Structure 1
């Protein structure tokens, strides 16, 4: 097998030389230091898998095996039921699921054994304690009941053998929304307006209620157990300026801002470029430790390019922004399980299978599975090509999108390998299919790495205007 492989390599190099696209000459000399630091796949450092999570739990060994193939290392789920019937109930925190009908402790232990981090979501108000009769998304009448529930959750799961350290307060708690619904779906404060009336103003004190009745009381309990507070996910239609206003709102009751009681900022369904505002304002120099999205995907994954593009661009973005903690930047897919074709997996029957979005994560995990580091040089993209790049261990990995035909990408300031040997592969980002060697060729000229690649006529997706486009990886390796 090894002899045939070496023969194939020699034949490929000879063909490239005949085409005038060669791979001779010294490698990435200006970048030798970061490459040396990432020389081993077992070395500590940021990885793509650090970023990837999912809503829900992997409920079996076979599900967990699928998660590992997709590179999923975070799980998010609710904990309850708390005190469902009245203040005299025992506080129960041993169940999860929308109906609080699944045992939670064995799930947490299963996650721990398999290297999956657990994010426990705290909410909502039991109807007996709701400000608005029958509304579990309204503020609690008795805040002490909410505090008893939070304390029971954190006390139990922060301790061995569970050792959970990340707790999320509520879900999409938002006040007056800009550009969307007049009132948040999952938080109604102490008075719920008639949201069926489009002219009805939202309840203006909704966020004051949240800060004082929900967030600060829960955050104080979480932090008293040496655990981290994750905001409940600001919804995409809420607007970041509005989010900022409430983060910086100072409660007269506690003389604290909500921002002072958040460790990880969290939004839902934003694109990577939208993170700059929150990073520059709250993460770059603190006080927040990181920036998460605990829900991404959903119907956006009807576009099969959405998920691999999102995570690759998120990694490139993070490498430019001091990714010094593996848990600093996390995004969780909503949802990993379902019957719709855009979910990560189809639950069956007869058995669970991967959908296109799930397969794209497998390809991402296999292609960009090493220790990640910045590629400081800027890509020079040919006509109608978009893309970005990073290092995965010693390989340069470029994610490119282009229509059919021959395309190019150049990188200035990258020297050729001293071994005189290198290779490039063109890998379909959805299927993992590697194109023939003749469809991707490289050369170096005056410290410029140039790659020509052939996008197939049968592409794997389309652009924003419906034009056919292909999403793929170009992987350049020194041999």
Structure 2
């Protein structure tokens, strides 16, 4: 799914002119290295919470929208910055607008984010049409790479400074070569042999070399010069993880660098949680990267109302098992937080309303809102049920997916609790409604805590296959 992010036109590019030497610098460079050592969320200590994982594309902007973001637990936003020199090289470089058409003011959006505990990721891209290698194509490599460098410098210099204090900058969006599925060129990175008619296009043979040399490494040097963090430009799901690793480790003789040496946060789009493990093992566990983000998830996958709560619950359990020692280490951003499609988080209107996916985040945020920690015990489900668990504050929370009828799960490995004082509630993962007490019971058994629960016939799942219900079993100790 690569044909969705309409961040409008922008500049890009830069070649090996600034190769082996890092970009020398000016104002802001004196504090740059010190600034990068401290996370904007307060360093590596502190509690881990579900909200630290959740972001969305776009900005909330209005007080009403900000309130909705807080209710859904969204703490990261992502959007464009520009428009740069949209019409000619003689224009001043403008970096005060955001949005697909650069029709919103960026500065107040960032300040509102700062005031409300929302972090801002600024997307750097693309090429002005007058500077495009492919005639009139803002998503193509640049003819003059210094145009890209001036744009990046203007953005980063402006927004790392007070009162904005932005530290995270994403370089481009989904730059890749030939994609699985038959596309000869990536949706957001065009070059030689491109044609708007896909059947007439041929592969852009130097797609990744040009991206590394003209765009990524030069921009990353500027970002780090000012104390910022480099977020990779969102490797598309159709690009393949092995291919991503290949280009991360490609050493360009032109810029005398590998891309991975100039990446702080790896970033992919629309992958399942398990697909992140090879990236963790190869780069994060070894210290080559600070963390792994997905700056686009969801979209039409959210036609399945279970997708989003299952994704973030699994993401949290995965993060807890993979060295989640910094609040910014792992982030996933929903594409998109608003729209007219029924699967978006909210539906545009006056007033704006929640869709099912947005409600599911509210339920997740309320149900799993405590400080998170791993559950190292074991879950044994009966037929037609499955799930996983983590600790949220003093509660043990199981996310369970099951078909209608009586179901069971036995929880072993509960330590430091008195089984006879445990209570269990069942909460609908999409509506937040609690099941009647008669639908759930728990008892101590030789194997642990045995929980019996009845799944309603009117399940909250939909789509293909047998109907399934998604719920949380919350195990808490009575006073």
TM-score where L is the length of structure 1: 0.88
Question: Distance between the aligned counterparts of 2:230 and 2:415, measured in 1?
Answer: 45
Name the residue aligned to 1:338. Answer: 339
Question: Distance between the aligned counterparts of 1:378 and 1:292, measured in 2?
Answer: 28
Unaligned runs of 5+ in 1: 1-42
Matched, 1:366 2:366: yes
Name the residue aligned to 2:170. Answer: 168
Question: Distance between the aligned counterparts of 2:416 and 2:108, measured in 1?
Answer: 52
Q: CA deviation at 1:199?
A: 7.8
Name the residue aligned to 1:89. Answer: 91
Question: Distance between the aligned counterparts of 1:94 and 1:76, measured in 2?
Answer: 15
Taking a change above 3 Å as real, the CA distance of residues 415 and 397 of structure 1, as seen in their structure-2 partners, is: same
Name the residue aligned to 1:5. Answer: none
Secondary structure at the residue paired with 1:443?
A: strand
Name the residue aligned to 1:288. Answer: 289
Question: Distance between the aligned counterparts of 1:391 and 1:228, measured in 2?
Answer: 31
Name the residue aligned to 1:382. Answer: 382
Indicate if the aligned counterparts of 1:178 and 1:242 stay in contact, CA closer than 8 A. no
Name the residue aligned to 2:430. Answer: 430
Moved more, 175-184 or 405-414: 175-184
Q: How does 1:440-479 map to 2 (within 5 A)?
A: 440-446=440-446, 448-462=448-462, 465-479=464-478
Question: Distance between the aligned counterparts of 1:441 and 1:289, measured in 2?
Answer: 44
Q: CA deviation at 1:406?
A: 0.9
Question: Distance between the aligned counterparts of 1:368 and 1:320, measured in 2?
Answer: 17
Q: CA deviation at 1:208?
A: 0.7
Q: CA deviation at 1:143?
A: 1.0
- Higher Cα radius of gyration: 1
Taking a change above 3 Å as real, the CA distance of residues 247 and 195 of structure 1, as seen in their structure-2 partners, is: farther
Q: CA deviation at 1:200?
A: 5.3
Indicate if the aligned counterparts of 1:272 and 1:313 stay in contact, CA closer than 8 A. yes
> Which whole-Å deviations, capped at 9, do the CAs of 1:385-433 have from their partners, x for residues lacking one?
1101000011000000000111111122224734942210000000000
Secondary structure at the residue paired with 1:44?
A: coil
Q: CA deviation at 1:195?
A: 6.3
Indicate if the aligned counterparts of 1:441 and 1:452 stay in contact, CA closer than 8 A. yes
Q: CA deviation at 1:236?
A: 0.7
Indicate if the aligned counterparts of 1:195 and 1:202 stay in contact, CA closer than 8 A. no
Taking a change above 3 Å as real, the CA distance of residues 216 and 468 of structure 1, as seen in their structure-2 partners, is: same
Question: Distance between the aligned counterparts of 2:196 and 2:129, measured in 1?
Answer: 20
Indicate if the aligned counterparts of 1:408 and 1:451 stay in contact, CA closer than 8 A. yes
Taking a change above 3 Å as real, the CA distance of residues 44 and 56 of structure 1, as seen in their structure-2 partners, is: same
Q: CA deviation at 1:93?
A: 0.5
Q: CA deviation at 1:44?
A: 2.8
Unaligned runs of 5+ in 2: 1-44
Taking a change above 3 Å as real, the CA distance of residues 87 and 448 of structure 1, as seen in their structure-2 partners, is: same
Name the residue aligned to 2:25. Answer: none
Q: CA deviation at 1:447?
A: 5.8
Name the residue aligned to 1:44. Answer: 46
Number of residue equivalences:
434
> Which whole-Å deviations, capped at 9, do the CAs of 1:206-241 have from their partners, x for residues lacking one?
111110000001000000111100011111111111
Matched, 1:99 2:98: no
Indicate if the aligned counterparts of 2:294 and 2:333 stay in contact, CA closer than 8 A. yes
Name the residue aligned to 1:278. Answer: 279
> Which whole-Å deviations, capped at 9, do the CAs of 1:25-54 have from their partners, x for residues lacking one?
xxxxxxxxxxxxxxxxxx931100000000
Question: Distance between the aligned counterparts of 1:447 and 1:466, measured in 2?
Answer: 32
Indicate if the aligned counterparts of 1:120 and 1:168 stay in contact, CA closer than 8 A. yes
Matched, 1:115 2:114: no
Question: Distance between the aligned counterparts of 2:459 and 2:400, measured in 1?
Answer: 13
Indicate if the aligned counterparts of 1:138 and 1:192 stay in contact, CA closer than 8 A. no
Name the residue aligned to 1:63. Answer: 65
Taking a change above 3 Å as real, the CA distance of residues 283 and 416 of structure 1, as seen in their structure-2 partners, is: closer
Q: Once superposed, which parts of structure 1, at least 4 consecutive aligned residues long, lie more than 3 Å away?
A: 194-201
Q: How does 1:321-360 map to 2 (within 5 A)?
A: 321-348=322-349, 350-360=350-360
Secondary structure at the residue paired with 1:185?
A: coil
Name the residue aligned to 1:311. Answer: 312
Question: Distance between the aligned counterparts of 2:352 and 2:309, measured in 1?
Answer: 21
Indicate if the aligned counterparts of 1:422 and 1:478 stay in contact, CA closer than 8 A. yes
Q: CA deviation at 1:337?
A: 0.6
TM-score where L is the length of structure 2: 0.88
Taking a change above 3 Å as real, the CA distance of residues 83 and 200 of structure 1, as seen in their structure-2 partners, is: closer
Name the residue aligned to 1:214. Answer: 215
Secondary structure at the residue paired with 1:161?
A: coil
Matched, 1:421 2:430: no
Question: Distance between the aligned counterparts of 2:59 and 2:416, measured in 1?
Answer: 46
Indicate if the aligned counterparts of 2:132 and 2:138 stay in contact, CA closer than 8 A. yes
Relative contact order (alpha carbons < 8 A, sep ≥ 6): 1 or 2 greater? 1
Say which of 75, 78, 83 aligns to 2:77.
75
Name the residue aligned to 1:439. Answer: 439
Indicate if the aligned counterparts of 2:133 and 2:142 stay in contact, CA closer than 8 A. yes
Q: CA deviation at 1:176?
A: 2.1
Say what the alpha-carbon RMSD is for the aligned residues.
1.5
Name the residue aligned to 1:250. Answer: 251
Name the residue aligned to 2:408. Answer: 408
Indicate if the aligned counterparts of 2:443 and 2:451 stay in contact, CA closer than 8 A. yes
